[in-house]
Amino acid sequence: MTSLIDTTIYSAITEAIRVEAARILSEGEVTAVVGYAAARRKGSAQPIVINTAADAGQLIFTPSCVNNLAVYLTKAKKEISKTGKIGIVVKGCDLKALVGLMGESQLKREDMYLIGVPCIGVLASTVQPATGLTAETIAPKCTECDAHLPQGCDFVPAQTPVVTKLEHKYAAEIARLEALTPAERWAYWKEQFTKCIKCYACRQVCPFCFCEQCLCDRNKPQMVDTTPRPAGNAAWHIVRAMHLAGRCAGCAECERVCPMDIPLNLLNRKMAMELKELYDYEAGFDVLDKGPLTMFTDKDDQSFIK
Partner 1 sequence: MQKYISQHNLDTLLDTLIKRGIRVVAPRMNAGIPLYEPLGSSGEVVSDTLPRRSAKEAFFPVCEDIMSYKKEGQKVTITDIDPGRFPETVLFGVRPCDAAAIPVLDAVFSWDYKDEFFLERRKKTTIIGLACTAADDACFCTAVGLSPSASKGSDLFLTALEGGGYACDTCSEKGEALIANNQALFDGPSTSNPIPFAEPQTDTFDLTKVKAWLNDHFEDPLWDGIATRCVGCGACAFVCPACHCFDIVDEGTEKAGKRRKNWDACGFWKFTHHASGHNPRDLQPKRYRNRIMHKFKYYDDKFGQTLCTGCGRCVRICPVGIDIAAIVEEINKK
* C-beta of 43 vs 152, nearer to partner 1: 43
Separation between Cα atoms, residue 266 and residue 241, nearest integer Å: 10
| Residue 89 burial (10 A CB sphere; 0-12, 13-18, 19+) | buried
Report phi then psi at 16, rounded to 5.
Answer: -65, -40
- What is the chain's alpha carbon radius of gyration, rounded to the nearest angstrom? 20
Nearer to partner 1, 94 or 253 (CB): 253
Footprint on this chain of partner 1 (rule: CB under 8 A): 39-42, 44-49, 67, 71-72, 77-80, 128, 191, 195, 197-201, 203-205, 217, 225-229, 232, 253, 256-257, 259-261
Q: Which is nearer to partner 1, 67 or 143 (CB)?
A: 67
Percentages of the chain per state (helix, strand, coil), in multiples of 5: 40, 10, 50
Give me the least distance between CB of 85 and partner 1, in Å please. 18
| C-alpha–C-alpha distance, residues 216 and 218, integer Å | 6
Backbone φ and ψ of 87, nearest 5°: -85, 145
Q: How far is CA 231 from the centre of its chain?
A: 27
User: Among 225, 207, 166, which Cα is nearest to 2's?
Assistant: 166
For residue 149, the minimal CB distance to partner 1 (Å) is 26
| 46 or 164: CB nearest partner 1 | 46
Q: Compute the least distance from the CB of residue 8 to partner 1, in Å.
A: 23
Minimum distance of partner 1 from residue 101's CB (angstroms): 16
Q: How far is the CB of 74 from partner 1 (least distance, A)?
A: 10
Q: Smaller CB distance to partner 1: residue 212 or 289?
A: 212
